Structures are given as structure tokens and as C-alpha cells.
Chain A
């Protein structure tokens, strides 16, 4: 699904020192993958808690902006772990990723999810603690949740299809 113009880039990624080191190792990929999964727990957990508030289905006793500020380190940290571990796994099997439609879909969904999430997050953060949530937050939260779970689904599909 990736345009053939970027193929040389993927091939270069496949040939780097980090690629061969992970491929040659019996344990590195496994550890990186497990850390990716732990990062997912932190990221999805914080995303779910935040969106429960936006959807009005939970955490209603907290103000949304205050919750946003409390959750931020965990969202950022979880995402950072996933990006670093994701990159390491990508480098170790770049050509497989190039040929994998679920991987391409996952990347597209990831960009959409991260972008829309940051937009919503930023807007909510800047609200006053006692302000009512704007009417667009519910559909935005719903969409964001779908996108994030879509990323997870596509990620699992890489290994299956």
C-alpha cells in the first residue's frame, strides 16, 4: 500500500545497524514487543479515562480540564514508549512493514488519532475548571476512541494477515 517511491527508504531502514542487531538477537524483539504492550496499557488506559469524562460516562466528579492536566504525563509517557518501541520493531522488519497493508493502515490511523486527540486535549486543557464542555467534545471523544482502538486493531492484524 505504500507508494514504490518510498521503497528505497524502507530498504535502507532494513539494513541499518539497529535492524541487524535486533534481528540477530534472540531476546531483543521479545522484550521490545512486551514494552510496546505495556506502553499500550498506559496509553489506552489514560485515553479511556479521559474520554469517559468527555463522554460523560465516568469520572464526572472531576473537572475535565483538571483531569486533562493529571493525565497528560501518562498519555505522553505511554505514547513515547510506544513510539520508541514501535520504531525499534519497525527497523528490525522494515520490508515486512512495507509489504503489510495493516501496517500502512495502522500508521494512517495513528496520525489521525494522535492529531485529533491532541486537538481535543489542548482545547479542553485551556477551558476553565468550572466551564461546561462544548457541544463538540462528545462526538470528538467518540471519534478519537474509535481511532485509537482502530490503531490497536490494525497493529494486531499485522501479525495475523
Chain B
């Protein structure tokens, strides 16, 4: 079964239809998804700014990251749940949308970047936590993250523009 076929099957379910034709559920899901950007991407922003050394300079990276992480992760859970439900309600439209595809690719990229950072770079943080000089790998992780999240937000909004 092709990917498009799967999406068509999803859209045909009563679950998908119920969300798509809903009076309140769809607006609520979309609003939670929008406001969730502020908390999820908004908190990641400050970790990235600290990694790049252009914001939150007075705090240690580990302080910023450790203290914001629970909130970032909680907000992400909300984003994944609302995003999945929104996708399931209009999966064919998402299939056809180049913006959706780019958004998913960028989300995967951001996940890989985060995993690599936590696995390879962050364990050594004690060595440079208090120092104004941040290793290039950390700065790269921050820069890549920032770029991808800007793109993800832009692509997310653009999905509504395509037909």
C-alpha cells in the first residue's frame, strides 16, 4: 500500500473525520499547538542562545539546560500529541504539502542534532560550563538547532498556504 493510500485510509476513518469536521476540537488542538510553540521552541531558544554565547551569558549552560529541560519536554509532548491529531485529521493534505514534508524532515534533523549533542557534546560540559569560550561543536549544535527551529515554525505556518 502506498503512502498516499495509507493517508487516504486514515482520512476515511470516523476518528479523522470527527476532528476534521469538529466545531471546537480542531480549533482547540490548533491553538494548543500554536501556544505550545512559545513554550517548546521558546525554551530551546534560550539554550541555543547560551550555546552560541549570545544570550543568558551570566548563567552556566548546565544551569540553563537542566532547569528548562522539564518544561521543554512537557511542551514537546503537547506538540507531538496535538500535531499528530492534527495530522491524522488531514493526512492527505499533509501528504501533498511540500511544506509539511520539509517540516517533518527538519524535525527529524532537530532530533538527530539534539541526540548527537546530548550524547557527544554535553557530557563534557563541566570543562567549559564556566568559561566564556564555548567549544565549536557546542556552538554548531546551537546554531543548527536555532536554524532548524526557525524553519520548522515557518514551514508549519506555510502548510496552511498550500492547497
Seen from chain A, the residues whose Cβ lies within 8 Å of a Cβ on chain B are 30, 33-34, 37-38, 40-49, 52, 58-62, 66-67, 70-71, 73-74, 149, 152-153, 156-157, 160
Contact = CB atoms under 8 A, between A and B. Distances in A.
A41 B157 contact: no
A6 to B, nearest CB: 28
13 contacts: A34-B158, A38-B150, A40-B38, A43-B38, A44-B42, A45-B42, A48-B39, A58-B67, A61-B63, A70-B58, A152-B34, A153-B31, A153-B35
Nearest to A40: B38
B158 A30 contact: yes
Contact of A34 (B49, B57, B63, B157): B157
Interface string B103-143: 00000000000000000000000000000000000000000
Given A41-B38, A42-B45, A58-B70, 18 more contacts: A33-B157, A34-B153, A34-B157, A37-B154, A38-B150, A41-B149, A43-B38, A44-B42, A47-B38, A48-B42, A48-B43, A49-B42, A52-B68, A58-B68, A62-B59, A70-B55, A152-B35, A153-B35
A46 B158 contact: no
B130 to A, nearest CB: 13
B41 interface: yes
Nearest to B154: A34
A60 B46 CA distance: 15
Nearest to B46: A49
A108 to B, nearest CB: 18
Nearest to A27: B161
Given A59-B67, A153-B31, A41 B154 contact: no
Interface of chain A, main secondary structure? helix
Given A48-B71, A59-B67, A160-B27, A41 B42 contact: yes
A160 B29 CA distance: 13
Interface of chain B, main secondary structure? helix
A62 B63 contact: yes
Chain A to chain B: the 4 pairs with minimum beta-carbon distance, closest first: A45-B42, A44-B38, A45-B45, A156-B31
Contacts of A149: 35, 38
B85 interface: no
Nearest to B57: A70
Contacts of A52: 67-68, 71
B153 A45 contact: no
A157 B41 CA distance: 22
Contact of A30 (B63, B70, B161): B161
B7 interface: no
B10 interface: no
Contacts of A37: 37, 153-154, 157
A114 B149 CA distance: 26
A157 B67 CA distance: 32
Contacts of B43: 45, 48-49
Nearest to B44: A45
B78 interface: no
